[in-house]
Structure 1
């Protein structure tokens, strides 16, 4: 019989099951009648007999907890998470030698009994009644029943009942075991048992155990390895081969001898397997659980917060936790591996994770028109302690294991631009913008009350700026002056419409400092806002999950991006055109000049008081991104001034100094090999990407319908009249390419080579 397999015995079982069931059941009942005469166990066994007859025989089988797998947009694994690390496999994918080993050591009469081994159960019952200790004797079927009951237990009482060391538990298991043998084949029972059994070291089921101890699949096990695993189920911690090799060796050899005794193997085969040192057999592998070792740990953690908090996955926190606990889910995310890798490389190139400065950088990318988060990176490693380690996601809000955010600085000027376009503001209108100015005409939104005087200054001399040059140089007094004229209501409302809110989840207060970014935001929110402009005013909720399938291949509902228009198309596109001028426009010395991607792009720098936080936000037609650089310990206490980062000293860090290059390098890598999508903007009259370039279309003035030189001549005549005083003073000139009046680059005004910090940023 040495060459017989377990399957041969399984196939012979056939029609004898029902007869054996009857005999076994009769034996159990008989034993319960006889046992009362033994010692003092009469009352207990009479109660057990009553319990046996009253127990239901139908055992409810619940799905076994399994791994959940998180994958990127291409299906590559990002992380595995589980309550019980298990991968169910069919019996055909479990080595026959493993099947034989478990039968030999756990239940040698498995192929012939009907769920209960009468001799073993009787011996265990008598021993328990006399000595108070539950003895062995459980068949594989009974052990399977016990594990099913324990898995199905949802209350403390049910868990205690499933593990109680009592005769009643044995009787309960026997009743269910007999019923289960009538319902399932021996193959199905053995398959279920090998998938539910615990093998130690966090390994549930034989497939994970094979990977954990031997780095191979369950169908690849050798005789020695199969015997080692079979020996574990009795006491996994005691016989752990990685911790106690001598004990594990002795237990393995016992299993091998049992296999000889049952005829599964020859003595020679056993001797050969026993000669293999446990250390030689082992190839132990750590099987990580969660986001710790993921290539994108902070994005992975964000996905988990969505799964735990979004009601689409269950009405209550308990429902959502149960979904993850049962597992078996394949969670396909929106992560673009190329975008993620380029972002991670860019942030770490500028600021190493363990840089002595303690400064941090965070970037989030979103694909416009979809809401898909394609990258979420920061210059930190996942961990709770040590320099450069954190479990806080600097790019996410508090509700997603993040922060309250960081002051946005001049990036908020983008919303003031959009608000001005909403009100029909002429982008070529010049505002005198001195180096320092006190604004005394701000009115509270909704109340009509007047604000106290608000003083703002630049790091520039006085000058006349229009919207293009004001944005290109990030002139504080220009934008506060613009905000004073258009009012405080619309800029904050535009930001909200774009999807931006404070990191604490609250809406913005409507203060004069709004346009200078005095509120705390996250890179996730700012990327969302930029994506709205890139998508022509269509706002999409940021999403991290595209699809979830359960263990049966069924698709589950996932959060929707719910894309809809929230900003007028021409307003959004005109804003995009102005922001494009920051990067690729005609103004020399513009703050975004070094962020050119070699493809259409728009952006805005941001620098707060004393460089407490510095930003760069922007987009192409295909991707939006936001970058923050600062100090998570507090920007006011640890500003980006007089600091050495990555071995280089900075007297002051601006938005164009560090966040801008991170943004640029990240997007270049993310978009490498993709078409250079051109702008397709439907702007207001005369507003064009790249700084109102030379393809002007005039639709709402007397120059409408003209083209080429005639259009330029018409526009120049109109502009010459409109800005006669400024042209006469030398502050402005007529651009020969467009006919527009623009600030005179040769005027005696020193423009900043980098963006000036906003001051102040508190109301």
Structure 2
């Protein structure tokens, strides 16, 4: 700087310059304005920030309405002995609540030590933790370290449930609300309550929520029995349930467990000795052993539990829940379902049906196949089982997707892929299901209560829950099991039939003209009573009986028996169908029946005619112990008279003691039952009962293939005996009691009526009847006198072919049946009913055609010779030895020939 005279003068001029003064003033003014703007912006920003903050807080849930109690809990199913038989789990539901007194102190300390060391000191948010996390974030550039308290985590899991999919802005908003509510929550809830709700809420890996579910999953014991080391394992999972899963990542969990134990030691929760002992514990070997023994949580529910869950869902919806609500409640509501399953009986069924040595040799495998192929140009082609079948049917029209071995099926699949794939094609997806055949099912019910005590819905490994259950889901034709419940039950109960009622097993046709055939072939057995028809499962007589009582009556009774699959009138593919038809007597139905419904129908007979709706549970209790479904009271109704039930039981005892079902008789108690076989042995059944239980077995191919092997044809009876004999091993012998209203009487077995002394002596038998139904009419089958050898009718006075003796005549056929008999004319019967003008009826004996007028016609000698020759030819064809002894016809009386 110049301090000379000139310099000083120059400086003075500069200082006194107006330009310089104004420049300084403007600069200072600009500075003031800038400072004002900055201050204004700060004030505005602060105000806006406060406004936003207040807005965020204002939109937070009302602390008064917040419930941090976890809402998703596993549902448990119990058998009749109180054993847990299933756990129903869905997303966010594998949780079992516990109270603080059930939780070891070491576990609560472990969570506090690793998750929130100042939990007992802060007011809901940890200021020190927030500052620590911020400092580390600034210094490292990574803001990944959390500072959430246990209280905040509880809110995050139970109030802010959508945080896993939120944006960064939503995350900031949620964090602010979370911290605000954490402070508010701690004002209304104790630390202990917050901690127990937290421990019941947290995700602990392997689809477990809460400490009890985790304890059972990893250590197979309740949380109250956890050791210090085990507590540390569970607490160590929380930060990252996948990464620190002790089953899949034991080494990572071990690092975390060690940190938990170290924190507990440093925070004074455990001593050095406890720390050293826990660190030395080989806890992960135990975890792996438990995982192998229990099979984890990938348990597949049994057929019984599958049926049970479906029934509970239906009942919940019937009680007013929507389908979604019912499903959520069942799988996430923490319900307790008390089932009707008897563990001993279910085990017997499982042991018998899982033992492949019990099955017939030559097991076949039914293939279900799906294939997705992508070509080189990206086009995707999907191949179905139908396409696969069509391909092989071009080579063999009888191809039915059945293979004699899994290896054969796999070879055929490879050949198919080679045929349909070209160079450059790749397999995107392929699904191969091979189901062993024939298939099976069984339902066992305690008929006095309606409890279904055991069920098996199929053969082979069950790979998933709620799959096809053949006991409850499949519609199969019931065959001859329907004869008793569709025809003889209503016939005896209200249509005048008795066990002694006689029908004629002779050529008989349905109303459409189709001939009814017996299962044993073309032979007919003539006159037989209802008892014998039941014992030998006679088709023709069953159809005659339903025709007589009417198919409508049969249908009405079947509805009362509880069948839900019957068709009254329905159009299917443009064609009308109805089960109000004659074929219903033989189990020829539009859709078929379900095994457990058929079993319930027979249980009604076993229960003295009282039908009880079959049940799989008695009650369902919610998470808080309230009964939401009470199924204890039996839903019952009388559908048959007690006397009818006894009469049917008596006849079905004959089935077991000497009829078509004799092979099921294990001999330690009284048994009644009925076989059932459809055409070509597509479906084979046995439905039977003792005084204790009713069981129904079914065997068949899922694709309706015919069973040809004798062992397959008899398999339902084989398995019924194997199961029921074991069930009754320790049960005392119990005979079927005769109820009041039952009497016995001796009747003629050929007519079912009062016997005639001297005529019916060789055909007498004693039968049970409902009181008041003992027949009063005399036998109309046996006849003493002369018989025409040509007509088989009582001979006229002029008959040249008469023989003398005691003969059997065909009784009059009821009018309702006459049109069904092939070539029937009134003259086929021995008697004709005649009604006089007063309405009185009498039976007039029919005689042969050799009347006076017939015998007086021209050329009678030749006519008689032709009749005799025809009769001898027919006799020779039927019985050559007897025909050789045929006596010659009597000479035509001279007075007749002369016309006198």
How does the TM-score come out when normalised to structure 1? 0.75
Q: Is 2:371 the partner of 1:362?
A: no
Q: Is 2:471 the partner of 1:395?
A: yes
Provide the aligned length of Structure 1 versus Structure 2.
641
CA contact (8 A) 1:433 1:462 kept: yes
Give the distance between the partners of 1:260 and 1:217, measured in 2 at CA: 25
Give the distance between the partners of 2:663 and 2:217, measured in 1 at CA: 53
The structural deviation recorded for 1:302 is 0.2
Q: Is 2:462 the partner of 1:383?
A: yes
User: Structure 2 vs 1, CA of residues 187 and 529 (structure 1 numbering), >3 Å: closer, same or farther?
Assistant: same
Q: Residues 708-760 of structure 1: CA distance to partner in whole angstroms, max 9, x if unpaired?
A: xxxxxxx9xx765654489945799xxxxxxxxxxxxxxxx9xxxxxxxxxxx
The structural deviation recorded for 1:159 is 7.5
Moved more, 184-193 or 551-560: 551-560
The equivalent residue for 1:316 is: 322
Give the distance between the partners of 2:68 and 2:152, measured in 1 at CA: 14
The structural deviation recorded for 1:546 is 0.8
The equivalent residue for 1:618 is: 688
CA contact (8 A) 2:438 2:701 kept: yes
Q: Give the alignment's Cα RMSD to 1 decimal.
A: 3.9
The equivalent residue for 2:178 is: 173
The equivalent residue for 1:658 is: 715
**DSSP-derived class of the 1:547 partner:** strand
The structural deviation recorded for 1:452 is 4.1
**Which residues of 2 match residues 332-481 of structure 1 at below 5 A?**
332-348=338-354, 351-352=358-359, 356-357=363-364, 358-378=437-457, 380-384=459-463, 391-396=467-472, 402-403=473-474, 405-414=475-484, 415-421=486-492, 422-434=494-506, 437-439=507-509, 442=511, 451-460=512-521, 461-463=523-525, 464-481=527-544
The structural deviation recorded for 1:54 is 5.4
Quick check: which has more Rg, 1 or 2? 2
1:193 pairs with one of 198, 202, 205 = 198
User: Structure 2 vs 1, CA of residues 160 and 666 (structure 1 numbering), >3 Å: closer, same or farther?
Assistant: same
How does the TM-score come out when normalised to structure 2? 0.64
The equivalent residue for 2:647 is: 574
Q: Is 2:688 the partner of 1:608?
A: no
User: Structure 2 vs 1, CA of residues 617 and 265 (structure 1 numbering), >3 Å: closer, same or farther?
Assistant: closer
Moved more, 566-575 or 349-358: 349-358
The structural deviation recorded for 1:72 is 1.2
CA contact (8 A) 1:500 1:526 kept: yes
CA contact (8 A) 1:574 1:682 kept: no
The equivalent residue for 1:485 is: 548
Structure 2: segments with no counterpart, 5+ residues: 1-40, 365-436, 571-577, 753-764, 785-791, 793-804, 811-877, 879-900
User: Structure 2 vs 1, CA of residues 565 and 215 (structure 1 numbering), >3 Å: closer, same or farther?
Assistant: closer
The structural deviation recorded for 1:102 is 1.3
CA contact (8 A) 2:335 2:621 kept: yes
Q: Is 2:87 the partner of 1:80?
A: yes
The structural deviation recorded for 1:273 is 3.7
Give the distance between the partners of 1:301 and 1:141, measured in 2 at CA: 39
The structural deviation recorded for 1:137 is 1.0
Q: Residues 664-702 of structure 1: CA distance to partner in whole angstroms, max 9, x if unpaired?
A: 3323333343341532435666489xx998575674378
CA contact (8 A) 1:344 1:379 kept: no
Give the distance between the partners of 1:326 and 1:125, measured in 2 at CA: 39
Q: Is 2:129 the partner of 1:120?
A: yes
Q: Residues 648-674 of structure 1: CA distance to partner in whole angstroms, max 9, x if unpaired?
A: xx2x754xx332232233233333433
Structure 1: segments with no counterpart, 5+ residues: 1-35, 397-401, 443-450, 644-649, 704-714, 733-748, 750-763
Q: Is 2:308 the partner of 1:303?
A: yes
CA contact (8 A) 1:617 1:626 kept: yes
The structural deviation recorded for 1:594 is 4.7
The equivalent residue for 2:607 is: 535
**DSSP-derived class of the 2:290 partner:** coil
**DSSP-derived class of the 2:147 partner:** coil
**DSSP-derived class of the 1:406 partner:** coil
Give the distance between the partners of 2:610 and 2:620, measured in 1 at CA: 26
Q: Residues 124-179 of structure 1: CA distance to partner in whole angstroms, max 9, x if unpaired?
A: 579999989675111111111111215xx5xxx68857998622211211222222
**Which residues of 2 match residues 21-420 of structure 1 at below 5 A?**
46-52=51-57, 55=60, 56-58=62-64, 59-83=66-90, 84-121=93-130, 135-150=145-160, 166-266=171-271, 269-271=274-276, 273-276=278-281, 279-280=284-285, 282-283=287-288, 285-286=290-291, 292=299, 297-310=302-315, 311-312=317-318, 314-348=320-354, 351-352=358-359, 356-357=363-364, 358-378=437-457, 380-384=459-463, 391-396=467-472, 402-403=473-474, 405-414=475-484, 415-420=486-491
